[in-house]
Each structure stands twice: as C-alpha cells, then as structure tokens.
Amino acid sequence: MNDPVLETRHRVIFGDNKRMLDIENESVHLMITSPPYPMIEMWDKQFRELDDQIDSLWHELEEELNNTRRQELVSRIYDAMHDDLAKVWKETHRVLVDGGLACINIGDATRKVNGVFRLFPNHVRIVEQCEKIGFFTLPYILWKKPTTKPMYKGKGAFLGSGMLPPNAYVTIDCEFILILRKGSPRQFKRKDPTRYASRYTKEERDRWFTQIWEVIGMKQYLSEVEKRVAAFPEEIPSRLIRMFSVAGDIVLDPFLGTGTTLKVASELSRNTIGYEIERRFRSLIERRFNEVHTGKSAKAELEFIYR
C-alpha cells in the first residue's frame, strides 16, 4: 500500500535536545533516532564537548596512576554518558502523545580501557533509564549488519587467541532497535480513514515484524564531520515509520545528523521535528530534502530554527 500524499511541515532546530522548548507536551507521535554510542571512541569527543563533567572525568583518568581508581573513573564516565542521554529520553517522554513510541537504534561497545577488554552494554542502560522515566519496553529488533568479509580494525572479525580456548571474544555484528511506548496503545476512531490508508501489506508485516533484520549498513563516503553521525540506512526509519505511525503524524529525531529520518518521513507524508547541534549539516539536510520534494505536487515546508 502507498501512504496518502499530504502537505507536510518539517522543522530542523539547531539547539539543545535536552530542552526541547519548541515542542509542546504530548504533540509527537513517534520518535526515531540513533544517538552517539557511549564508550565508542569516535563519539568520545562529542560527549566531552557537550558535558564538562565527562570531560573532567576523562582528564582525571588520563592523569590517574592507581589502577583501582582508574577503573572507578571508567565506570563513572560510562554512567555520565548515559545520564546525558537520559535527559533526551526524558524530554522525549514529555513530548510524546499517550501511546506514542520511541525507537532508539543503539549499539553496544567493546573497548580496552585501563588495560581491560570488556563490553559496555549500551542497550541495557538505555532500557533501564527509559523504564525509570516511565516508558514501557516492547520487544526489540536486532539489526544484523551483513558484510561480505567481516572485519575488525582492518583484521579478521575474530577477537582472541587463534584457536585456543578460553580467551576469545564473540564478535559484535548486531545493533539494537529498542522500541518503547509511553502509556497505553494509541486509540483511533473506528475505521479511521487515515489509519487504513497507511496500512502495510501482509508481506511487509511478515518481513518487518520479526526480531532479526538484515539490512545493509550505510557506506560512509562522508567528510570527517559527517562521519560523526554514522548515519543509518534509509530502510531502517522507513520501516519503523510505516510500522508505528500514520500519515500526517509528527516524527521526532533528537539526534538528526544529516537528516535521514527527516528525508524518509517527509517522503511518507509525515511531519517532522529534528534537533541537531552541528550547524554545518544544514546544507546537507536541505539538499537531501530538496532532492525528494522539488517538483512534487504536495507541499512540503522546511524550516531551520537556531537556538
């Protein structure tokens, strides 16, 4: 089925996603995002720049010589990163309608810090934080990223000591798409025409509503500043938008990046609000949006707001 074609409005707010002052309470129907992943090295700088406490803890770790104290600092850094993200999840809960859903794409981290290789289970921490805020956790999706030749830092995917037990490690080749709901399921009028016009096919239902998705990840032909967002492929938000919203709904992405969620949602006749801190992404977001809507009959308005 094709979703109905509607006029839509799209707002990109360059500002603080921990205080979404431009969004009214209970006005958003669906949130889809992929935040920075705590304890993944490529996002250390972003966490440090946005939170003085995290930056201070890293400085302490770099200067500390006592091994026990260093390990405590690693745990405190990890906690602080998730406390930072939890402020966004709390604001998301505020702006979602009753029955609104939050879909969070997150990967766990493996890292050797302070001489110890370990897993940082980001998906667990986010679920714990969101449950405390008031979300109900629903069955999540495992996004398995197929590759033709598994690699890890330019080497084979296997981590450990050749064929000798017991000190090898399982390779991480899945990310999580967490699905959380605010309150009870959304209510609609009987045979709501927009809801029926937005329905998916049986084939789509059977393919999408399964716990393991195999979707090819984005190839990163991006500049250094763009690589910070590690954009997910359009197929991910496209499925989630079709599964968990109807045409005319408002979709929020508090970590908008280069605008993948906005682009896909606008194609599917949903309205969008996105928060982003990197103002240099404006031209990319605008270009991707215009590629979709230039010459189309349905009006789609794009607005940039600076806070």
Compute the Cα dihedral for 51, 49, 103, 26 and give only its sign: positive
Question: Given this model, what pLDDT does residue 3 score?
Answer: 63
- Asked if 57 and 94 touch (Cβ cutoff 8 Å), the reply is no
| Number of residues that this document lists for the chain | 307
Residue 265 amino acid letter = A
Helix, strand or coil for residue 150?
A: coil
In terms of Cα–Cα distance, which of 85, 62, 83 is closest to 73?
A: 62
- In order of 151, 157, 285, the CA distances from 226 in angstroms are 22, 25, 11
Query: Which residues have a Cβ under 8 Å from the Cβ of 63 and sit 6 or more positions away?
Result: none
- Asked if 116 and 175 touch (Cβ cutoff 8 Å), the reply is no
- Asked if 286 and 302 touch (Cβ cutoff 8 Å), the reply is yes
Encoded tokens for 149: 């030749």
Encoded tokens for 231: 């954009």
> What is the number of H-type helices and E-type strands within the chain?
10, 13
Using the 8-state DSSP alphabet, how is residue 41 labeled?
Answer: G
Beta bridge partners of 8: 300
Residue 4 amino acid letter = P
Query: What pTM was computed for the model?
Result: 0.92
DSSP per position, 271-288: EEEEEES-GGGHHHHHHH
Encoded tokens for 94: 């505020």
Question: Given this model, what pLDDT does residue 148 score?
Answer: 43
pLDDT tens by residue, the chain, 307 residues = 566 668 999 999 999 999 999 999 999 999 999 999 999 999 999 999 999 999 999 999 999 999 999 999 999 999 999 999 999 999 999 999 999 999 999 999 999 988 889 999 999 999 999 999 999 999 999 999 865 444 444 445 556 666 778 888 888 899 999 999 999 999 999 999 999 999 999 999 999 999 999 998 655 444 454 455 557 899 999 999 999 999 999 999 999 999 999 999 999 999 999 999 999 999 999 999 999 888 776 789 999 999 9
Compute the Cα dihedral for 145, 147, 149, 154 and give only its sign: negative
Q: Judging by DSSP bridges, how do beta strands 271-276 and 250-253 pair with one another?
A: parallel
How far apart, in whole angstroms, are the C-alpha atoms of residue 283 and residue 211? 36
Burial class (CB in 10 A: 0-12, 13-18, 19+), 183: middle
Q: How many C-alpha atoms does 129 have within 13 Å on its Cβ side?
A: 23
Question: Given this model, what pLDDT does residue 147 score?
Answer: 55
Q: What are the structural domain ranges in the chain?
A: 8-306
Query: Which residues have a Cβ under 8 Å from the Cβ of 197 and sit 6 or more positions away?
Result: 1, 3, 4, 246, 247
Domain covering 8-306, topology: Rossmann fold (3.40.50)
SS (H, E, C) 113-139: ECCEEEEECHHHHHHHHHHHHCCEEEE
